[in-house]
Chain A
Amino acid sequence: MLLVNAITSAALNAEVIPGLSELSDSIVRESAIAFVNTTTSPGLEGATLTVDDGSRQSDQWRSSLGFAAEFTLKNVIYNGYWGLAIVGGSLDDKVELTADNGEPARLDITRDVVALRGSIGLSFPVNEHFKLRPYLSLSVSDLQTESIIAGLITTAPTGNTTTLVINTSAQMLSTTGSIDALYSRWYGDNRLELSAHYHLIYTDAFSEDNPVLETQAWNDVIQLKSRYSGPTNLTSIGRAWRWQVYANHTNFISQNKISMGYTSLFEIGAGLEWRMNIKPLDWFGWQMLGIEAGVITSEHVEGYFLGLTAR
């Protein structure tokens, strides 16, 4: 008999899903936090990712609308740094599991997150080519999760149940300490940029309907980025366009591979940047508006990025 239970006030853990001890509390926690971190961490740009490793197929996308800039502090050498972003992302994760009775079970998780992130910090120019930038980011995330477990035999009072639907929500407060090391050099009209970024993330999670997600965790992420750009003959409204190519590597160092199906990403791409050079609110310089396209790859992961960038 096929019976669908919609459980909205139950925790997604082994205790309320009898017969599926493979899905432990720690996996549930880590995967929820990993999804938020791989979507909202500072330094991540938009992406569409597909994971396929046989027993797992998942589609993830993330996108952000935000801006970061330095501001001058007079009478001192260092500058200030601020950033503000709205970030959104979604995940459709399908995993084949084995129930305790040896029968296959299928877990289909859909997650959606929206987050608001603010950053503030300092920028220390060592010389005209190299600077160090430590900063702190606070982000508030709202995570909605729907989990469908199919093919599972439970001991529910109504009898055998083959499908469970579990809806949970959680709010996450993430505090991230970051340090960026930025190097740039001009070769004629061409510019080389190299940077390394380290982010240490402390996440405090709250959930009224899932006690498993009442938790906290430390994670860290490292990114290596490179970009090479040069002039073009194109102009729009008297402003020049520049071409660029880039390659980025992101490693979610402390992330367990079972959480998202990957722990690192490599992205390579190209694009055009328009030197719009405006000052919104006469407050901060917005120098470039760009369009970029890139491919993302890693073990069992394929993806792409196509979108606008601003800096």
Chain B
Amino acid sequence: MKLRILLLMFSTGLLLSACIKTPALKGGDYAFIRSNYPIVSINGVDVEPLYRLDIESGENTLMIVYNTYQYDYYCTFSWVAVAGTVYEVTDQENQYPLTLYRWDKTNSLWASRLDPLDPVECVSRQRP
């Protein structure tokens, strides 16, 4: 009986918190990207590590680092960003350490990761 009460409380909590929000977009010709790993270069310009970024629509090239204890993997993504679209970079144990997805709010309970894009290349560098 106690377990049933715990399950009921957990389910109620999930339902109450279930409201997916689309990240705030800058508007105009901008798209938005968020990454679980640091973005260190934007269109060839080195930047301080970023995890969320407004990007102009059109061709973009980002370098994102996947860190491990033995190597850092510098992965370069190059794609045509569409205005008003949310992108997401994460590790999903695919062929490359990182994958870029188009993020889409399906409903208030879940979002979808669509159109997976592999990096152009991932260069590994031994950590000091």
Contact = CB atoms under 8 A, between A and B. Distances in A.
Give the most central of A189, A278, A287: most B CB within 10 Å. A278
Interface string A273-311: 000011111100111000000000000000000000000
Contact of A280 (B36, B97, B110): B110
B3 A140 contact: yes
Interface stretch (A20-28, A101-109, A123-131, A258-266): A123-131
Contact of B106 (A114, A140, A278): A278
A146 to B, nearest CB: 18
A69 to B, nearest CB: 11
A140 B3 CA distance: 8
A116 B90 contact: no
B111 A124 contact: no
A160 interface: no
Interface string A176-190: 000000001010010
Nearest to B73: A128
B68 A77 contact: yes
A142 interface: yes
Contacts of B57: none
Contacts of B30: none
Interface residues of A, number: 27
B3 A116 contact: yes
Contacts, number: 74
Nearest to A125: B68
Contacts of B14: 281
Give the most central of A125, A281, A282, A286: most B CB within 10 Å. A282
A75 to B, nearest CB: 8
Contacts of B7: 86, 116
Given A72-B36, A116-B3, A142-B3, A278 B113 contact: yes
Given A72-B36, A285-B90, A287-B92, A125 B113 contact: no
Interface of B: 2-3, 6-7, 14, 17-18, 20-21, 36-38, 49, 51, 66-71, 73, 90, 92-93, 95, 97, 101, 103, 105-106, 109-114, 116, 124
6 contacts: A72-B36, A115-B3, A278-B110, A278-B113, A279-B103, A285-B90
Given A72-B90, A184-B93, 17 more contacts: A72-B37, A77-B69, A116-B7, A128-B68, A128-B71, A128-B73, A140-B6, A277-B113, A277-B114, A278-B110, A278-B113, A279-B111, A279-B112, A279-B113, A281-B14, A282-B21, A282-B105
